[in-house]
């Protein structure tokens, strides 16, 4: 009986709590957390606060900025004047529950009736306009909260500077905003420090940091907009926001971690894990012949080259174009080749390796680093490899599916290899 109760509780926790966490926080499924190019959304939780919200509204009015406030219904009841001012000054008002309680600790009907709809009724009674968006406290959803999407857009975030703690200070908070905010960012900030775990004076540091960063956002051509304006302009299904692509990325990274463990793939440099390697025998039936006269035959030891696909994914997101991505790959690889050579010369496991070997769709450019580019022998392995690498290209490339359709005849996997002798000629310290 106890065992059944244990497993029943575990299944309940997994389905009611853990599954929506993965769906919303890890995969971004069914939630809004990213917008389009040239826009950012400032969002403020836990208010309205009689001390800090008026100061924030003054700042936003002075800069001509419209934001989104996710308010607590209980505070809206106490401070209807602030809710009215938000509305009159063009800001969007969303719901953040009646009080700051986690949805995991409440029944689905309790969340809807006693918190969300109750709070929406309060705001509508003050402004005459019913809120359209909802953000759960701490971003925590239970499984049944997804049914709320028929009434409200569920909003999370892409940038969270942890401004609820005063220990972060103005300078750290400012640097976090300047370093993390980019096109489409949904920024989570707080205009009240009265909720559990927050410091009462924390919003003062947020206000100081925000005052100093708004000008920089403008210089970067990032327009501050409301959530409804952002969702109206953001294109569904783009490389960055497509649900399918994010799900595929998460599954891919899980496979990646399993592969690394199973096949003992290790980073060349623990502090820079972009390039990873493993030692194995060359199994190809066709020898690899290099211009320097060296040759790798079946059964010879080789160092197999792997890229850190998690880093590659983020490089792809940040790259302005395919050319920009390719240049970054070449530069990062060049920086680490001397360390690979050092590994081959000093580590007993790698001493007998005759060269460095990999298979890639990105094979224009490595020849300038000394690599030989060869066709992959036709066959089942070649077809499987091409499919595998095309899926990877879809996941990591800044243009996603569009890149697969553009000059698809060029997306052919090739062998890239360099002999140990050539590595020594070029990269010996």
d(C-alpha 43, C-alpha 31), whole Å:
15
Residue whose tokens read 């095309």: 390
Q: Are 159 and 15 in contact (CB under 8 A)?
A: no
Q: Which phi and psi angles does 285 have, rounded to 5°? A: -75, -25
Q: Which of 79, 190, 306, 363 is catalytic?
A: 190
What's 377's DSSP letter? Answer: P
Q: Which helix (H) or strand (E) holds 425?
A: helix 420-427
**Tokens at 86, concatenated:** 């938000």
- Collapsing DSSP to helix, strand or coil, 93 comes out as strand
Q: Is the dihedral of CA 74, 79, 80, 82 positive or negative?
A: negative
Please check whether residue 110 is in contact with residue 85, taking contact to mean a CB–CB distance below 8 angstroms.
no
Other Cβ atoms closer than 10 A to 267:
17
Q: Count other Cβ atoms within 10 Å, centred on residue 141.
A: 26
Which letter does DSSP use for residue 234 in this model?
S
* DSSP E strand boundaries for 12-51: 39-45
User: What's the token pair of residue 110?
Assistant: 């309790």
Give residue 221's region: left, alpha or beta (phi > 0; psi -120 to 50).
left
Catalytic site residue 96? no
Cis check: omega of the bond before 48, within 30 degrees of 0: yes
Looking up tokens 């850190």 gives 308
Is the Cβ–Cβ distance between 24 and 134 less than 8 Å? no
* Annotation says 190 is catalytic: yes
Q: Which of 45, 49, 163, 191 is catalytic?
A: 45
Active centre residues (catalytic): 45, 190
């Amino acid at each position: 009986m106890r065992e059944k109760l244990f497993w029943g509780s575990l299944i309940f926790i997994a389905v009611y709590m853990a599954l929506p966490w993965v769906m919303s926080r890890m995969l971004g499924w069914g939630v809004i957390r990213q917008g389009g190019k040239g826009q950012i959304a400032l969002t403020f939780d836990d208010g309205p606060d009689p001390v800090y919200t008026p100061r924030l509204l003054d700042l936003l009015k002075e800069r001509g900025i419209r934001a989104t406030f996710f308010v607590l219904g209980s505070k809206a009841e106490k401070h209807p004047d602030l809710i009215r001012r938000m509305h009159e000054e063009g800001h969007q008002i969303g719901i953040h529950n009646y009080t700051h309680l986690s949805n995991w600790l409440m029944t689905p009907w309790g969340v809807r009736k006693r918190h969300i709809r109750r709070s929406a009724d309060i705001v509508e009674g003050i402004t005459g306009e019913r809120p359209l968006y909802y953000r759960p406290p701490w971003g925590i959803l239970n499984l049944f909260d997804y049914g709320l999407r028929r009434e409200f857009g569920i909003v999370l975030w892409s940038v969270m500077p942890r401004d609820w703690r005063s220990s972060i200070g103005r300078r750290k908070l400012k640097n976090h905003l300047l370093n993390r905010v980019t096109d489409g960012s949904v920024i989570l900030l707080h205009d009240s420090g009265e909720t559990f775990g927050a410091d009462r004076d924390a919003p003062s540091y947020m206000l100081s940091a925000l005052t100093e960063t708004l000008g920089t956002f403008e210089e970067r051509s990032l327009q501050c907009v409301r959530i409804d304006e952002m969702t109206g302009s953001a294109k569904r299904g783009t490389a960055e926001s497509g649900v399918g692509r994010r799900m595929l990325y998460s599954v891919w990274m899980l496979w990646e971690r399993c592969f690394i463990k199973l096949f003992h793939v290790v980073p060349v440099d623990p502090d820079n894990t972009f390039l990873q390697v493993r030692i194995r025998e060359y199994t190809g039936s066709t020898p690899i012949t290099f211009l320097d006269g060296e040759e790798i035959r079946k059964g010879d030891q080789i160092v197999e080259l792997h890229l850190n696909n998690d880093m590659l994914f983020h490089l792809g997101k940040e790259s302005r174009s395919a050319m920009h991505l390719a240049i970054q790959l070449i530069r990062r690889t060049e920086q680490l080749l001397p360390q690979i050579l050092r590994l081959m010369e000093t580590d007993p496991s790698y001493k007998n390796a005759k060269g460095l070997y990999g298979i890639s769709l990105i094979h224009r450019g490595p020849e300038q680093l000394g690599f030989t580019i060869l066709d992959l022998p036709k066959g089942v392995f070649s077809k499987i490899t091409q499919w595998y690498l095309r899926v990877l290209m879809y996941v990591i490339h800044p243009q996603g599916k569009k890149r697969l359709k553009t000059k698809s005849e060029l997306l052919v996997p090739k062998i890239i290899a360099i002999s140990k002798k050539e590595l020594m000629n070029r990269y010996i310290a």
